[in-house]
Amino acid sequence: MSSTVKGDALLKSIVSQNESPLTHEEWEESAKKKMKPHEFGHIRSGAGAEETLRRNREAFSKWAIVPRMLNDVSSVDTSINLFGRKYDHPFLLAPIGMQKLADEEGDLASVRGAAKWNVPFITSTVSSYSLEDIAEAAGSNPRWFQLYWSNNEKISYSMLQRAEQAGYEAIVVTVDTVMLGWREEDLRNGYSPLRAGVGKANYVNDPVFMESLTDKSDAGVIQGILENVYHPSFNWKKIEEIKKATKLPVLLKGILHPEDAILAMEAGIDGIIVSNHGGRQLDGVTSSLDALPAIAEVVNGKIPLILDSGIRRGTDLVKALILGASAVLLGRPYIYGLATAGQAGVEQVLGNFIEETRVTLALSGIAKVAEMPSIKLIRQ
């Protein structure tokens, strides 16, 4: 790579950054100053004592890259292929609900920021704007839809149909949230964004949900949502039914055990997202990164594996790909960008992440993602 400002990513970034936040920690601190304490606390926090939240980050520091030298990395290709579609970068924006907590434009600003860099966006069931409005804001940029199963399964199937009609390209079924985790930050603050109505857009715009309500007041809508997000009987049979109900690829988000990965493949699932919900559901569980190698071994390349939880830097992305991930999800970092500067903040966070990823690949001796197996990691 050239050492001139024109060609060197670092020098270009030095010119462009000025006084904006740069590291994840700086973006987080900036978001904290912009947001109300209880709203920031909801986004930042994890479940219980936050062991899993910390473990997600610590796991990456336990692995070290052993780079290769004297490979031509003058042109680094970060593109990947998933489900027959070429994506420019090996990451997607994770489904994060209730983004109005960070910025009034919420998901609309985030999806536009993602479109700036051609990064796929995953819309949450509990988004602040309807999946149709988010699809319109995305334009031609790829988007997936994340589904929380409803107690009234007709509502879930209605949302699947709406996602197909709105041009979503895949369905992400979250399986680790049959009930909410023990989130002490929210308990301490006496705050629930669901009760506050920040994540109701997809429900109030769903005809099946609205028809199911006897009380259509704001209070009745919120109560209906709360009743539907609690579904402890969710099981593998339902997964098979979901797969049959849509023509789109279906991924399961929240898999940590290799045996569950095997069951997912037996159910005909198209992809797995190795995730512990960013440490927000069950505390004390393994980090997603530590769970990845065993799952990659049993999957053996048959379906895509995506790593979620704990991704903060381009070096994290590269380590995940070396350990067997096809791509990763980026979560809290872009929300902190959103809280700091709206769409422009999202764009800057993603731009920095993309450039650091390219630099990491190049300095590891990799010119394209397909060459990842040539790079070794050692456990520290």
Q: Is 277 annotated as a binding residue?
A: yes
Q: Is 311 annotated as a binding residue?
A: yes
What's the per-residue H, E or C state across the chain?
A: CCCCCCCCHHHHHHHHHCCCCCCHHHHHHHHHHHCCHHHHHHHHCCCCCCHHHHHHHHHHHCEEEECCCCCCCCCCECCEEECCEEECCCEEECCCCCHHHCCCCHHHHHHHHHHHCCCCEEECCCCCCCHHHHHHHHCCCCEEEEECCCCCHHHHHHHHHHHHHCCCCCEEEECCCCCCCCCHHHHHHCCCCCCCCCCCHHHHCCHHHHHHCCCCCHHHHHHHHHHHCCCCCCCHHHHHHHHHHCCCCEEEEEECCHHHHHHHHHCCCCEEEECCHHHCCCCCCCCHHHHHHHHHHHHCCCCCEEECCCCCCHHHHHHHHHCCCCEEEECHHHHHHHHHHHHHHHHHHHHHHHHHHHHHHHHCCCCEHHHHHHCEEEEC
Q: Is 376 annotated as a binding residue?
A: no
Q: Is 95 annotated as a binding residue?
A: yes
Active site residue 277: yes
Q: Is 37 annotated as a binding residue?
A: no
Q: Is 244 annotated as a binding residue?
A: no
Q: Is 280 annotated as a binding residue?
A: yes
Q: Is 246 annotated as a binding residue?
A: no
Q: Is 183 annotated as a binding residue?
A: yes
Q: Is 262 annotated as a binding residue?
A: no
Q: Is 331 annotated as a binding residue?
A: yes
Q: Is 174 annotated as a binding residue?
A: yes
Choose the catalytic residue: 42, 89, 231, 277: 277
Q: Is 55 annotated as a binding residue?
A: no
Q: How far apart are CA 117 and CA 342, in angstroms?
A: 15
Report the length, in residues, of the chain.
380
Q: Is 253 annotated as a binding residue?
A: yes
Q: Is 3 annotated as a binding residue?
A: no
Q: Is 148 annotated as a binding residue?
A: yes
Binding-site residues for glyoxylate, please?
Answer: 148, 183, 277, 280
Binding-site residues for FMN, please?
Answer: 95-97, 124, 146, 174, 253, 275, 308-312, 331-332
Active site residues: 277
Binding-site residues, please?
Answer: 95-97, 124, 146, 148, 174, 183, 253, 275, 277, 280, 308-312, 331-332
